[in-house]
Amino acid sequence: MRAVIQRVSAASVSVDGSVIGQIEAGLLILVCAMKGDDDTAPARLAAKISRLRVFRDDAGKMNLSLADTGGAALIVSQFTLAANTAKGNRPGFSDAAPPERGNALYESFVTACRALQIPCATGQFGADMQVSLTNDGPVTFWVEV
Which residues are catalytically annotated?
78-80
Integer angstrom CA distances of residue 20 from 75, 106, 108, 122, 124: 11, 17, 19, 7, 8
For residue 94, how many other CB atoms are within 10 A of its CB? Answer: 8
CA 65 – CA 14 distance, rounded (Å)? 27
- Ramachandran sector of residue 44 (left: φ over 0; alpha: ψ -120 to 50; beta: rest): alpha
CA 128 – CA 130 distance, rounded (Å)? 7
